[in-house]
Amino acid sequence: MTFSTANQKYEKVKERYRADKAKGVDVPLVEYLYFSDLIKVIHIRKRFDDLGYQNGRKYKKELGALVSLRDIVAHPTRSLITDLESCKKLWQRIDLVESALLHLR
């Protein structure tokens, strides 16, 4: 995955990056990636072991679940908690976030 593709999504990312750079904001381009793209890059580059995963399949399954959580939180159309199972699922995802953060430290 590169930003050289003719994907409009990445053109907008590059435009925001260049506009911020022109304003004096000096941050790495990676900070402009969408969360789902960051998850993909880690998988493609096989860096999932840095987050405590021994294989890409488990990483993609578990961290991929965080992408859907991020989407639900960022674009709420209904409550995160609708029943006991959804509460359990939310806690599991929170545990995944905490585990990933712990490995990054």
Nearest in space to 93 (alpha carbons), one of 63, 71, 53:
63
- Per-residue pLDDT reduced to its tens digit, 45-66: 999 888 888 999 999 888 888 8
Q: Where are the alpha helices (DSSP H) in 1-105?
A: 8-22, 35-44, 56-74, 84-104
Query: What pLDDT score was predicted for residue 1?
Result: 46
Report domain extents, the chain. 51-104
- Residues of the chain under the 70 pLDDT cut: 1-6
Q: List the structure tokens of 3.
A: 């930003």
Q: Is 9 exposed, middle or buried (CB count within 10 Å of its CB: 0-12, 13-18, 19+)?
A: exposed
3-state SS assignment for residue 24? coil
